[in-house]
């Protein structure tokens, strides 16, 4: 992945940007484009709470789910560009949806501006225990009966969908996509045997893997994950081109004053450097990471290129 796994410490220049004299009384609206309770929501609330303390200004999380994150994204794109409305953008919203939707309602590349990376989250390929004992066995079974097995995702165009399509392309297999409204419903069907495979965030699967309700075949990140150290990566098993990590990044309305954007960047970076925040994010299954504004802009461009290719090759569309 283009950005190193790290949380950047606040420098003296950043501390100056966070001077109490610059604090404002009006709350910052922090739009999370998904329903409450998921890892994106948890990470956003942890960051928002610490940002409030750093800035001396309330940072209020608002959940605005729907349309693959497009509804919440458009709210921030249409907000007054004063740095007082921010977004927790995710992989699909910022790098995939523009390639899938004929009309998102806004252009994230033009109407949103980068603040800082916030987190990354590795996924794992899991199957019903009766399907296969290992990745090679699953691929062999899929190749023996193209289209006979199915995989679930948290929604059409979500990272759990596109990452699975990337794996299918790398492995040369045909497994039918079944989109759900969230990973929970898909996981229930996987455990019941109604679908055969899923890619899902690791933290959401550990319990079901440990008690044998599902079987882990491969981690999708660049290295083995601390929660599942016994599970080899896709790269270790011969599919480095299928490596994929979902992520979240703080964005702001395009055209917001540069001093305000720098102040937000400094606050996010300091929040993520706080040990309590990073440990609680890890417990929620995400790896807190920050970045400069420029690093994030380059990262989003690279991710958009990557997932745009997957969308085209897998012929992913929204009906």
* pLDDT band, very low/low/confident/very high, at 63 (cuts 50, 70, 90): very high
Query: Percent of the chain beyond pLDDT 90?
Result: 77
* Domain count for the chain: 2
> Is residue 31 a part of any domain in this protein?
yes
Could you tell me if 76 and 103 lie in one domain? Answer: yes
Could you tell me if 110 and 128 lie in one domain? Answer: no
**pLDDT for res 319:** 57
> Is residue 2 a part of any domain in this protein?
no
> Is residue 5 a part of any domain in this protein?
no
With a cut of 80, say whether residue 99 has pLDDT above it: yes
CA distance 24 to 38: 30
Which pair of tokens denotes residue 267?
A: 């606050």
> Is residue 191 a part of any domain in this protein?
yes
Q: Which residue matches tokens 């956003």?
A: 44
10 Å Cβ neighbour count for 178?
16
With a cut of 60, say whether residue 19 has pLDDT above it: no
**pLDDT for res 158:** 86
Could you tell me if 28 and 133 lie in one domain? Answer: no
CA distance 279 to 283: 6
Average pLDDT over residues 87-104: 93
**Average confidence score pLDDT of the chain:** 91
pTM: 0.87
Could you tell me if 164 and 23 lie in one domain? Answer: no
Could you tell me if 203 and 215 lie in one domain? Answer: yes
What are 122-154's pLDDT values in tens digits? 999 999 999 999 999 999 999 999 999 999 998
Classified as helix, coil or strand, 44 is helix
Distances (CA, A) of 23 to 9, 56, 198: 20, 6, 45
Could you tell me if 44 and 91 lie in one domain? Answer: yes
> Is residue 232 a part of any domain in this protein?
yes
* pLDDT band, very low/low/confident/very high, at 36 (cuts 50, 70, 90): confident
In the DSSP assignment, the letter for residue 57 is S
Domain boundary residue among 210, 242, 274? 242
**pLDDT for res 117:** 98
> Is residue 207 a part of any domain in this protein?
yes
Does residue 184 or residue 95 have the better pLDDT? 95
**pLDDT for res 115:** 98
Domain boundary residue among 186, 209, 242? 242
Domain range spanning residue 225?
122-242
CATH (domain of 16): 3.40.190.150
With a cut of 60, say whether residue 30 has pLDDT above it: yes
CATH (domain of 128): 3.40.190.10
CA distance 121 to 130: 27
> Is residue 291 a part of any domain in this protein?
yes
What residue ranges in 128-211 does DSSP mark as E strands? Answer: 150-153, 176-179, 197-201
Quote the distance between the C-alpha of residue 264 and its chain's center. 20
Which pair of tokens denotes residue 63?
A: 């959940």
CA distance 160 to 212: 22
Could you tell me if 65 and 168 lie in one domain? Answer: no
> Is residue 319 a part of any domain in this protein?
no
Could you tell me if 41 and 179 lie in one domain? Answer: no
Could you tell me if 199 and 189 lie in one domain? Answer: yes
Could you tell me if 150 and 49 lie in one domain? Answer: no
Could you tell me if 218 and 304 lie in one domain? Answer: no
Could you tell me if 20 and 100 lie in one domain? Answer: yes
What are 229-268's pLDDT values in tens digits? 999 999 999 999 999 999 999 999 999 999 999 999 999 9
**Contact assessment for residue 31 and residue 64, using Cβ atoms and an 8 Å cutoff:** yes
Domain boundary residue among 215, 242, 269? 242
CA distance 71 to 68: 8
């Amino acid at each position: 992945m283009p950005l190193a796994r790290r949380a950047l410490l606040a420098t003296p220049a950043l501390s100056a940007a966070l001077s109490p004299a610059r604090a404002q009384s009006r709350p910052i609206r922090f739009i999370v484009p998904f329903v409450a309770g998921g890892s994106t929501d948890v990470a956003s609330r942890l960051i928002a709470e610490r940002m409030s303390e750093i800035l001396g200004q309330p940072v209020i999380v608002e959940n605005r789910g729907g349309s693959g994150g497009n509804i919440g994204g458009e709210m921030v794109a249409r907000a007054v560009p004063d740095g007082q409305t921010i977004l927790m953008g995710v992989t699909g919203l910022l790098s995939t949806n523009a390639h899938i939707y004929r009309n998102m309602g806004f252009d994230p590349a033009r109407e949103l501006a980068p603040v800082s990376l916030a987190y990354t989250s590795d996924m794992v390929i899991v199957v019903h225990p009766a399907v296969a004992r290992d990745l090679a066995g699953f691929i062999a079974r899929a190749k023996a009966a193209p289209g006979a097995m199915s995989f679930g995702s948290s929604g059409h165009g979500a990272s759990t969908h596109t990452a699975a399509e990337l794996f299918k392309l790398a492995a040369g297999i045909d497994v039918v996509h079944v989109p759900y409204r969230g990973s929970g419903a898909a996981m229930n069907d996987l455990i019941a045997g109604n679908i055969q495979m899923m890619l899902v965030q690791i933290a959401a699967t550990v319990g079901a893997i440990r008690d044998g309700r599902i079987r882990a075949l491969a981690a999708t990140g660049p290295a083995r994950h601390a929660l599942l150290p016994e599970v080899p990566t896709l790269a270790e098993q011969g599919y480095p081109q299928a490596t994929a990590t979902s992520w979240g990044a703080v964005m702001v309305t395009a055209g917001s004053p540069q001093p305000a954007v720098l102040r937000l960047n400094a606050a996010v970076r300091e929040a993520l450097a706080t040990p309590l925040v990073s440990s609680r994010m890890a417990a929620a299954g995400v790896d807190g990471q920050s970045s400069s504004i420029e690093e994030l802009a380059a990262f989003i461009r690279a991710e958009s290129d990557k997932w745009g290719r997957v969308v085209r090759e897998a012929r992913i569309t929204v009906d």
